[in-house]
Structure 1
Amino acid sequence: MTQLEELLAGWIPRQRWFAGKGIPIDELTVESQHVLITGLPGLRILVVAVSQEGAADRYQVLLGLRPAGTLGADLAHAEIGTAEVDTAAGAKPQWCALYDAAHDPELTAEILERLAGSTPNGASANAVRFRRLPETTIRTGLRSLVLSGEQSNTSLVYGEDYVLKVFRRLWPGHNPDLELTAALTGSPFVARVHGWLEVDLTDEHTATPVPTTLAMLQEFLRSATDGWVLAGTSVRDLYEMPDTAPGDAGGDFAGESERLGSATASVHRELARALPTDLLGPGAVTELAESMVERLHSAADQVGELKPYTARLRAAFDAFAELEEPLPVQRVHGDYHLGQVVRTDAGWVLLDFEGEPAVPVAQRQRLSSPLRDVAGMLRSFDYAARYQLVEHPRAEELTGTARAWARRSRDAFCAGYAAAGGIDPEKHLTVLRAFEYDKAVYEVLYEARHRPSWLRIPLDSIAALAGGTPSTQ
């Protein structure tokens, strides 16, 4: 390894967005470097290939360079290390402090400048290309700030105007977040796209270069409040008066749930108009159900607490496999929950159409039933109702209150979704139940691996959905 690669091999596993935590790195190579600012301070975009247990993943690193020993206190937390680097063509190598440039507003200003078209983009083969939507004007001179809380990506807010989402894990192809949000341009339910960065990456299956999204610039929603936060506040207020019905509580969430259901249906309709749709016949539905059964048994083998419920879950998947009518499919959000929506002064806005970042782009682009998104949001209501009961001293007493809040929110969301022209979930319970159970099985596996204290949330939900007590079959 080079000095840079050795430093990255020690730094990348500590980053929140690194997907291979706990697995030794077999090999790390800098696949490509793209210089945006030469000299010092300097800015480069690196595509880094990381091999672990025979599989390779690519990651994007915004690399900042400054003279060794000059990294100030405001950038010390972003330091990668010190190495000897060629800072400019023909110049003598210098010892430089290397760091994550996402945290350096002096350098990230260059990205905004290039997106605005204020500097040449040098869009030659294999170079980073800066794209701007037609008839879009981008303001420059805005200072950036990294948003906290993200895990799979890094978002930079420029002033109060834009947010730049930097995709950390890279898969060849146009990121679905860009693809779907751009298709929804003009919708009041999404944040407007202004531009994006892309580079060619080689697809390992076809050995051909494929335009790949590095980052996306969107409108920053100044008045936005996270849907998960709003729902959690409603539940917390209700827990303070457990003898009150959810509909009588001051922070009742049902109205917001209904409006969110309506916004979701509108987005699904617009996606169906703008992008391909299809109908799955019985054979394709059976294959989909079989994949659900496979995930169920795999999860049950790993999490013993799930085994008592496998018979009832399997019955729901088998019922789905026997569906007689064709199943309408289209492009959907793909990872839909309360953390992917925000409430603004104007209403609900849907975010993060990326889907599951750990899945290749080609798989995320597959058509699916819009009820998959509905099921994801219904599961999220259940989580919002129950997560505050983890280790709560009055958890048993408040369980009924949690279920009542979740049921009221579910019913309101489904009513709003159907009223706005979406598939009526109440008339397609076999499909909805299969997607809900499939999501709950995923949650069981996730919680067992990452948050064991939360495992009861999906298990209790499965018990309730499946009829109360576990099956002994």
Structure 2
Amino acid sequence: MLAELLAAWISRQRWFGGKGRPIDQLSIDSDVELTPGLRHLIVAVWQDDSRDRYQLLLGERTELPDRLNHALIATIDDIYLYDAAHDPDRTGWLLEGMAHDETRSGLRMRHVPGVEIDTSPRSLVLGAEQSNTSLVYGDAYICKLFRRLIPGINPELEIITTLAARNAPHIAQPYGWIETDLDGTDTTLAFMQEFLSNANDGWDLALASVRDLYASMPEVSAAEAGGDFAAESERLGIATARVHRELAASFPTDVVESHEVKRMAEAFRRRLGRAVAEVPELRQHVGALEDAYHQVEQLTNEVFVQRVHGDYHLGQVMRTPTDWVVLDFEGEPGQPLAERRALSSPLRDVAGMLRSFDYAARHLLAGHPEAAELEPRAQEWADRNRGTFLDGYVAGGGRINRGDAALLRAFELAKAVYEVVYEARNRPTWLPIPLAAFRPR
């Protein structure tokens, strides 16, 4: 009975990855009592002969406070069952377990050696819940519950703990994690870091700068507008290069020979073909894209590869009172773990941030009555901040030579092709944003 109720509930959750497809079967693979009134569940969801597994903190109460009504799953025998991640009266076990390195029925709760965890703060779920659920404890910690479970150590845990051991800058300090065995493999269930309570989101700061420019007189340039972001973009470039250097020093690196680079260009071309078939607006830009990919195929030099962020954009960085901090090193959550841990060119991250600057510049134009008049200002803002970011990246030790520039452009255009398909499927009014990437610069 519980499995049937969970199947009906889980399909409505934002973090559920199988939306739009019927659930053929849900089974409970693991059910561990953590404390009275709190159970940890791992459930397997079958859809179209494929299986995904998710974790759930299942709360039990004889009375449910109004503040938890939104988290209700079902009622069985006068017992309210609910998503206890939203219940600060139950989530203290996360802190307690990590602080004391507890192990319960295969759940291993650990803290980073040398740190102490204050178990007194109460939790609050962040509102921007996506593929994971993040709990903030006071102004001290943020704990990310990985809802969809993939066997293996999460790249974010692996990277952040390794960089912290080197005293690397530009990261939020790690405090602890929770793991279990899944298919005989150590698998990360949760990861807790320092909560940057006095920091500002990079995307929000960039949008504030764009708003200031749009609100200024037409003759005022992006450099003269009150919210000019260029200095911050340059500092972010320096920070990005430093993070790449730390990753290269901490994990294996390699070089990719020219024939492998050609395979990369072929993969870009195949994705373009599929995208054009789905979004006809791309067809007029195929020639320019083919030229960019051909430039990569002509490269004869080896390409340096290393561990990278993998999903880098303005929403993944925070500006503290002293500097930029990079977050969310888990890569693209929808990709297989092996791909997220694979070595890649650091230019992939650089390209992701360049695309993010374009998005920030044009985000406010979607549906704007004066979009056509503001487009040149958007382009000016994007060009200025892209340029200063690249200047900072080079100043910070990042390498972009002539051959690298061709590869960077190909990465950027391939990312824009992906964005075109995404926007066409999910936000058609935003389609002009990635399409603008194919204009000559």
TM-score w.r.t. the length of structure 2 is: 0.97
C-alpha distance in structure 2 between counterparts of 1:449 and 1:37, whole Å: 43
Does 2:242 align with 1:266? yes
Counterpart residue number, 1:220: 195
**What is aligned with 2:214?**
239
Between the aligned partners of 2:138 and 2:401, the Cα distance in structure 1 is: 41
List aligned pairs for 1:12-31, cutoff 5 A. Answer: 12-31=10-29
Q: Cα RMSD between the aligned structures?
A: 1.3
Tell me which residue corresponds to 2:41: 46
Deviations 1:417-440 (A, max 9, x none): 000101126762111011001100
Q: Once structures 1 and 2 are overlaid, which stretch shifts more, 308-317 or 429-438?
A: 308-317
For residues 231-255 of structure 1, what are the alpha-carbon distances to aligned partners after superposition, in whole Å with 9 as ceiling and x for unaligned?
0000001001232111111110000
Give the distance between the partners of 1:318 and 1:24, measured in 2 at CA: 42
The Cα shift of 1:123 comes to: 5.4
Per mean C-alpha deviation after superposition, the further-off stretch among 29-38 and 298-307 is 29-38
Gaps of 5+ in 1: 85-94, 203-208, 469-473
**What displacement does 1:345 show?**
0.5
Deviations 1:113-148, CA, capped at 9 Å, x for gaps: 11100xx72356xx1101111111100111100111
Amino acid in structure 2 at the alignment position of 1:65 = E
Q: Report the alpha carbon displacement of residue 150 of structure 1 after superposing the two structures with TM.
A: 2.8
- 1:58 corresponds to which letter in structure 2? R
User: Could you tell me which residue of structure 1 aligns to residue 147 of structure 2?
Assistant: 168
The aligned counterpart of 2:58 is 63
Partner secondary structure for residue 460 of structure 1? helix
Paired AA for residue 173 in structure 2: R
Aligned partner of 2:274 in structure 1 is 298
User: Which structure 2 segments of 5+ residues have no match?
Assistant: none
Measure, in 2, the Cα distance between the counterparts of 1:59 and 1:296: 33
Shift of 1:178: 0.8
What amino acid is aligned across from residue 53 of structure 2 in structure 1? R
**Which one of the candidate residues 149, 165, 175 is aligned to 2:128?**
149
Residue aligned with 2:397, SS: coil
Provide closer, same or farther for how the CA distance between residues 431 and 258 of structure 1 changes in structure 2, counting only shifts above 3 A: same
User: How do 1:72-221 residues align onto structure 2 when only pairs under 5 Å count?
Assistant: 72-83=65-76, 95-117=78-100, 121-122=102-103, 127-185=106-164, 186-202=167-183, 209-221=184-196
Contact kept in structure 2, 1:414 and 1:425, CA below 8 Å: no
Q: Any conservation in 1 of the 2:214–2:377 contact (CA below 8 Å)? A: yes
**Contact 2:299–2:403 under 8 Å retained in 1:** no
Cα pair 1:335 1:355 within 8 Å, conserved = yes
3-state SS of 2:11 partner: helix
For residue 159 of structure 1, what is the amino acid of its counterpart? Answer: G
Aligned residues: 438
Distance in 1 (CA, whole Å) between partners of 2:328 and 2:9 is 26
**Cα distance in 1, alignment partners of residues 234 and 416 from structure 2:** 23
1:280 aligns with 2:263: no
Counterpart of 1:314 in structure 2 is 290
> Aligned to 2:89, what secondary structure does the other structure show?
helix
Deviation for aligned residue 1:13: 1.5
1:244-279 deviations in whole A, cap 9, x for unaligned?
111111110000000000000000000000011000
Aligned partner of 1:324 among 291, 297, 300: 300
One-letter amino acid of the structure 2 residue matched with residue 162 of structure 1: Y
Q: AA paired with 2:147?
A: R
| In 2, Cα distance between equivalents of 1:425 and 1:379 | 20
Aligned equivalent of 2:324: 348
Q: Normalising by the residue count of structure 1, what TM-score does the alignment of the two structures yield?
A: 0.90
Identity %: 55
Q: Contact 1:425/1:432 (CA < 8 Å) preserved in 2?
A: no
- What CA deviation, in whole Å up to 9, does each residue of 1:261-300 have, x standing for no partner? 0000000000000011000011221222111111111111
C-alpha distance in 2 between matches for 1:47 and 1:130: 16
Task: Select between 264-273 and 24-33 the one with higher mean Cα deviation.
Answer: 24-33
Q: For 2:254, give the aligned amino acid.
A: D
- Deviation digits for residues 39-94 of structure 1 (CA, Å, limit 9, x no counterpart): xxx11221121122222211111111112xx111010000011125xxxxxxxxxx
Contact 1:160 1:220 in 2 (8 A): yes
Residue aligning to 1:438 = 414
User: In structure 2, how many angstroms separate the alpha carbons of the residues matched to 1:400 and 1:60?
Assistant: 47
Show the counterpart of 1:403.
379
Q: Name the CA shift for 1:425/1:150 in 2 (closer, same or farther; >3 Å).
A: farther
Q: Distance in 1 between matches of 2:19 and 2:48?
A: 12
